Amino acid sequence: MMQQTLDELIATRRALLASDDASLEQLRQVDRRLLTRAERGDAASPLPDNLTEGSLLPLASLPVDEATLWLEVAVSIGGVQVRPALDALAKEPGGESLSWWLAANYPGLSVTREFPEAPELQVLAARAHWRRGQNDKLPQPWKEWAAVVDGHKELSRPLVETLWDILPADARVEGFASWKDWFYPLMVGAHDDWQLWMVNWLLAEVDTTTTVEAMGVSCARRFLSWLEAIGAGTGLDGNEDVADAAERELRWLMGDRRGRQQEPSPFGYQCWGEILRDGHGLKPASWQKRFTALPMGFRERCWYWSGQQINGSPWSLFGGQWCVGD
């Protein structure tokens, strides 16, 4: 078998990330080969031969998943100091987004810049300060968002509506963040009744397929019967796309065994066929096992449920890490 070129490895990597059947181990195998070729100075690599902080600036013109990947490759193989790289990136047009993305996803880095004006970057900045326990440095409504995510304040309709005005589903973004990055963290930590309200609220704001996704992301068992009915086409005029979306969410909740978990309460939370926490408020299960076991297409949801524990992103080198550092 011929060795894959760097471009072919990137294409394979992209396909794995989008697959609902590919495993984390498959991604790691590809990434090991990618690092080896990058270390040898492959001509197709966007990284220069002599890595310096300023030389990373051309990465700002790449799609976000490729840019962040190559930033991490540069740190891995070139010993690039991330802090100076961040400072250099933040000063250049297009580099501010990459800079905030790194700060939001690697809490070992310090944050010294002013809160950004662009809505997409505000989500990243809010996440960056929240992960560092710096909620007091956030302006409103992001300070309230962080307090709700931490469980120190109850969710409110005005907060959701205010944040939606800042960054709605139809906002034009560059791919670094979206409305899901503020909405889903609120949803997964919300009380049952608020989750139901958020799903119903979404029905008036986004398409049905996206609302179905939100039902699944919540991991709430109360939506199992809804998703089963939607998957069967009940009341949706045989819409195959919506039915397929519901089947995907049922797999996310039930796993490949498709078994309902038995518990006294009708509600509670489950994922991939296992109870996360029950309706009586038992301590949530660890997400580390699911982080490694979930198919690649589902793994981004771990960041909504356990964002304080994971570094990087679903498209990061080796799929992100379960440690806190830089």
Q: How many CB atoms lie within 10 A of CB 183?
A: 26
pLDDT of residue 39: 83
Assess contact for 37 and 6: CB atoms under 8 A: yes
The pTM is what?
Answer: 0.89
pLDDT of residue 187: 94
**Tokens for 106?**
């690697």
**Tokens for 223?**
């939506």
Q: What are residue 269's phi and psi, to 5 degrees?
A: -135, 140
Name residues whose C-beta falls within 8 Å of residue 117's C-beta, 6 or more positions apart in sequence. Answer: none
Beta-bridge partners for 311: 321
pLDDT of residue 102: 82
Q: What is the mean pLDDT of each run of 10 residues along the chain (326 residues)?
A: 79 95 94 88 78 70 83 76 69 78 82 89 95 95 97 95 96 90 94 92 94 95 91 71 93 82 67 73 64 89 82 85 44
| Torsion angle (degrees, nearest 10) of CA 320, 322, 325, 326 | -10
pLDDT of residue 110: 75
Q: Which three-class secondary structure state does DSSP give residue 80?
A: coil
**Tokens for 73?**
């490759």
Side-chain half-sphere exposure of 143, counting CA atoms within 13 A:
8
pLDDT of residue 17: 94
pLDDT of residue 324: 31
Beta-bridge partners for 274: 271
pLDDT of residue 265: 57
Beta-bridge partners for 238: none
Assess contact for 311 and 320: CB atoms under 8 A: yes
Which of 269, 39, 247 has the alpha carbon at shortest distance from 261?
Answer: 269
pLDDT of residue 138: 97
Beta-bridge partners for 321: 311
Find tokens 């309460």 and name the residue: 265
Length of the chain equals 326
Assess contact for 68 and 98: CB atoms under 8 A: yes
Name residues whose C-beta falls within 8 Å of residue 29's C-beta, 6 or more positions apart in sequence. Answer: none
Assess contact for 133 and 146: CB atoms under 8 A: no
